[in-house]
Amino acid sequence: MVELFKAKSVKTVTNIVYTIFHMQEMFTHIQRVDFPDIKPCIYAMWHRNQMCTYGQPDLSRLNVLVSRSKDGEMIAKVIEHMGYKTIRGSKGKKGAVEASMQMLTALKAGEDCAMMVDGPVGPPEVAKDGVIKLAKMAGVPIVPVSWYSTNITWLKFPSWDGLRMPLFRTNLVNLYGKPIYVNEEDDVEEKRKELQESLEDLERRIPLAYKEVYLWGQFKRKRSDSSQFKWNP
């Protein structure tokens, strides 16, 4: 996850950031569009959209990979307070393998994982193949997801990924793509391209989904959950 803060006291910064995020909950409204409700799965997103994971219905079974850096320590504590589970590989070359095995274990146990597929340092919006390999080993689908808002309170950070987050009252949509299944015989590169195309397609379609939810109101509700809609573009 992107490095947001630098401070000597991780605990102090953690408390400040968590308080801000906790207060923000009152002002953030996220509508899920075309949510597939598949369990377990791997949610795949661009690095800049990593905070869209907060729109998931059950954070207690969602595992997020966080680095072992000092900033990562702060981020891990904050999102654990918010209800997420965190996965943290050790430092060094073996850390990535260790983290992958932890995610594999979580998926095999029926829990979900979230992966920023153009991370950890870019280039932005270019999917890497790690999520494809993990999905193949775990035998679970990949669910592409993006989020969007036209509110000026949906802020963009001056970071390499252009991280987006809400501040004060913000209406957002989480738009989900069709699940991508990876079989043993599938070519990893072909599936990576499929994921790339799916995420790019979400970026093209999501402004219209936002208009449907907040401006036109032409949605058919799916179940009784007011934050979950089925979209037929």
**Sequence spans of domains, the chain:** 10-204
The residues with which 229 forms a beta bridge, in sequence order, are 33, 221
Q: What are phi and psi of 155, to 5 degrees?
A: -85, 150
* pLDDT tens across the length of the chain (233 residues): 444 445 456 678 788 888 888 899 899 999 999 999 999 999 999 999 999 999 998 999 999 988 776 667 778 888 888 899 999 876 666 777 888 999 999 999 999 999 999 978 889 999 999 999 999 999 999 999 999 999 999 999 998 899 999 999 999 999 999 999 999 999 999 999 999 999 999 999 999 999 999 987 644 443 334 344 333 33
Q: Which strands form 142-148's sheet, in the order they lie side by side?
A: 85-87, 62-65, 112-116, 42-45, 142-148, 170-176, 28-33, 228-230, 220-221
The model's pTM is: 0.86
